[in-house]
Amino acid sequence: MVSSWGLWRPFPNQESGGSIEAPIGPGVYEVRHTNTGELIAFGPATSVAQALSKVAPRPVTGLRSLFAGKTPAHRSGDLEYRTCSASSAVEAKFAAERLLGQRETYWRKHRAPGWA
């Protein structure tokens, strides 16, 4: 059984050692830009916490900072996430497909006239 979406939570600041609060087991996650609402990441996972940790921006420190050619696309303070736990990976995948369909339906209904 799939739970409902949790509350939006800000990504922890990696420099201060914060942690992501998410299910260790299967579920669905969504990451968005706090100010614009732009969808950054969405999908099912066998471990939601692990999937979110891969999405989180990494700070560039030490020698890496000298050789890093570009800055991260988003800072952790610019992102927020929410999760929905599931009882199995198969159920999480099914729930993600259903939620993605609902999102697409919403945007089709609320798209500005004249947009392709």
This prediction has a pTM of 0.75
Domain 9-60+73-110 has CATH 3.40.50: no
State the pLDDT confidence band at 74, using cuts at 50, 70 and 90: low
In eight-state DSSP terms, residue 22 is: -
What is the model's pLDDT at position 55? 84
CA atoms of 33 and 73, how far apart (whole Å): 11
What is the model's pLDDT at position 42? 93
In this structure, are residues 94 and 31 in contact, taking their beta carbons and an 8 Å threshold?
no
